[in-house]
Every structure is written in C-alpha cells, then in structure tokens.
Structure 1
Amino acid sequence: MRLELIRHGQTDWNAADKLQGSSDIPLNATGREQAHAAAELLKDFDWSAIVSSPLGRARETARIIASQLGIELGAAYPELIERDYASREGTVATTKIPDEPNADFPDIEPRASVAHRGLGALRDIRETRLPLDGEDSNIVVVCHGTIIRFLLSAILGREVGHIHNAAASTVEWADGGWRVLSINGALVSAAS
C-alpha cells in the first residue's frame, strides 16, 4: 500500500506566517490553485481513495483533488488534525518552536504526541482501506505540514525539513513497516 501525503493548499495565515494548528482556517485563492496543481501531478496514477484531516483547509484541498481526479472523497480522520499550538495559534513565532511546551509555548502539543497521532492515522487508514482496496492500492492523504514532517521524521529516524503547501510526500507499507519514498516530491535515497 502506498500513501501520497499532501499538505493542504495555502491559507491567509500561511501567507502571513501565523501558526494555524487546530484552528480551522480556510484556503485562499492561491491554496485552491495549489490544490488544482497537486491534482495535476497526481493524474497519471491509479488512486483507490482520497482521505483527509477534518479541518476545512485539508478537506477542501482533498475535495478539489478528488473532483479533478474523478474519485470519491473518502473519510476524514481526526488523528490527522494539525499540531495544536493552543494559545499561540494566530500568532507569528519569533523563536524556534520547541518539541515540548516551554515558557514561550506553554501549552503546545508535544512533538511525540503529534508523531504518535500521525503514525496511528497511517495505521488506521491502512486497516480501514486494505479490505476495500487491497495491498497494492494507492491512497491520497491530505493533511498538514507539521504532522507530515513529524511522522516522516519518526519513520526515517532523522529530522525532516519544512513541508511545502500542496507538496506530495510518499510512504509505502513494505515488510511490516512504513518506508519513506519521497519528501516534497524529491526521492529519498535508500541510504538516507
């Protein structure tokens, strides 16, 4: 099973570098264009399903892609919601965002929790879709940059950089575990 992890298109808060987290901020016009461009990149593959985070920006991105590819919009998985930045949502981070809560980010969701949710979502998608689509299926998963980054980092065992709006990163279930094939559309070598 192969999953194409797509970060949602741009929002006004993305454009202003504001932390969105679990705030439900809609796509802007650029974000909608990015969703159409993502669908164009995916058009030459056979997709069994498209699923997403339940937040509006991810759901709309998924809806645009599904419509353009002619596939049904599937389930929303709550585990795919973006990292909760709590009291810092809607603000611009002026310092590095920590893995754990600290004085500057007192109530953010810890990194381990986000990675755990993300990996749990991949497990749930696999368990839900496998009986419907089979082991050789390809599924588009639209969610959020930080959760994608943290789950890819957890799979690879090393830090993954920024995930771009509407960029695709590919993971594959093989030999009883997930492996990362690409990040932001760039292939990941077996040695990395």
Structure 2
Amino acid sequence: MTASTTLALVRHGETAWNAERRLQGSSDIPLNDTGREQVRAAGFVLRDSTWDFIVCSPLIRARQSAEILAEVLGVPVVEVIPGITERDYGLAEGMQDGDELRALRIPGGFEGAETEAEVAERATVALHDLVAGHPGARIVVVAHGTFIRIAMSTLSGHHISPITNAAHCVIVHEPERSQWSVLVVNGEDFVPENSAVGA
C-alpha cells in the first residue's frame, strides 16, 4: 500500500502590484515588506505540522516566499518547478480595473492570455509528477493565487474560493484510489459547498 502525499499549497506574499490591485500573472514582481511579514506569519502556522521540503514557482515573489518559509520551517527548497508558475494574463498584465482592462475581456479571460483550461492542464501534470516522485512526502508548494485555485478545483472537483496572499491550502493525494482530497483552503478547514450542515 502506497502512502498518501500531502501538499501545502502556499500563495506568495503581497507585492506592490497586489497592493495596487494590478493583474500580475507572469510578470516578475518581488515581495514588498508586507508580503515578507505575511509569509513569515504563514510559516509559523505551518510549523504546527511536519514538512519534508519546499518547491516553488520560478517567479521571484514565489522564490522569495519559499526562502522565508525554509528559514522558519527549517526545511530546504529543493526545486523550482516551471509548471507551477502563475497564469499568463497577456495584454492585461499590469493593468488595474477600468475601461482599458474591460476592453481586453473575452469569454474565459483576456485577449492573449493563457486560458483556465491551459492552466488546469499544466497544474495537473506538475502536481501529479510531484506526488509520483515523492510518495508519502509532506511538501510545501509555493505558488500563486489563480494557479492554486484552478489546480485545486481541477484535481478535487470542488469549487475553490480565491486564495489570499500568503494563505495556505492543504490537499492530499491518495494513490490507491487516485483521488485528491481538499482539507484546508485559505487556512480554514474546507467544507464543500454541497455539504449539508448538520447532516
């Protein structure tokens, strides 16, 4: 019997573009001071559990967040995984909400942007490869809000709400049943929307 693999998916901390509510996507924007503190606080929450190692997106805000978590958790960053980078928003990157941004909207996203289906496909490949290579491990995956939301929704079949800066989510892969189970979203125990309260 192969052991289940646990992933803590952590969104990077705040950047200047997050603070200005700009679409960030694949643009390589570093953490700001608030973001660094957010990630450090997230690390202290994650210290309540044991983790084996950290992997991260190649974008600098994710790499900086991973380094902070490595320091707090006392575990290494072992790999940068291109497949877990943020959705590319094309011409909309760097824009704030307004007429110019709305003019770029098309069904499912923005002109020239990566589609949700494309993000879902690479997320599925990247995370399946990760758990296949490390059965039974407990891994911190530092990535991005839209990527995490789409990945968790796709793998679990549940609606996942937007992910806040430096929030952690937990998803478990059970190889015997080829199933992914969501345990935590935005630091809170996950309750599927169709679950009946008190049932």
Tell me if TM exceeds 0.5: yes
Contact 1:99–1:110 (CA<8 Å) still a contact in 2? Answer: no
1:78 aligns with 2:82: yes
Q: Secondary structure at the match of 1:66?
A: helix
1:166 corresponding residue in structure 2: 166
Contact 1:149–1:163 (CA<8 Å) still a contact in 2? Answer: yes
Q: Secondary structure at the match of 2:39?
A: helix
Contact 2:156–2:179 (CA<8 Å) still a contact in 1? Answer: no
1:123 corresponding residue in structure 2: 128
1:100 aligns with 2:108: yes
Q: Secondary structure at the match of 2:182?
A: strand
Deviation at 1:186, TM superposition (A): 1.5
2:55 corresponding residue in structure 1: 51
CA offsets 1:9-53 (integer angstroms, 9 cap, x no match): 000000001011011000000000011001100112111111110
Q: What CA RMSD, in Å, does the superposition of the two structures yield over aligned residues?
A: 1.8
Matched to 2:95, the amino acid is T
Trace 1:136-147 onto structure 2 (pairs within 5 A): 137-147=137-147
Distance 1:34 1:99, change over 3 A: farther
Deviation at 1:98, TM superposition (A): 5.9
Deviation at 1:97, TM superposition (A): 6.3
Percent identity at matched positions?
43
Contact 2:156–2:180 (CA<8 Å) still a contact in 1? Answer: no
Distance 1:187 1:99, change over 3 A: farther
Q: Secondary structure at the match of 2:67?
A: helix
Larger Rg over CA atoms:
2
Q: TM-score, normalised by structure 2?
A: 0.86
Q: Where does structure 2 lack aligned partners over 5 or more consecutive residues?
A: none
Q: Across the two proteins, how many residue pairs are aligned to each other?
A: 184
CA offsets 1:129-168 (integer angstroms, 9 cap, x no match): 23xxxx2x21100000001111122133343221000001
1:8 aligns with 2:16: no
Distance 1:15 1:180, change over 3 A: same
Distance 1:170 1:34, change over 3 A: same
Matched to 1:47, the amino acid is W
Matched to 1:61, the amino acid is S
Q: Secondary structure at the match of 2:134?
A: helix
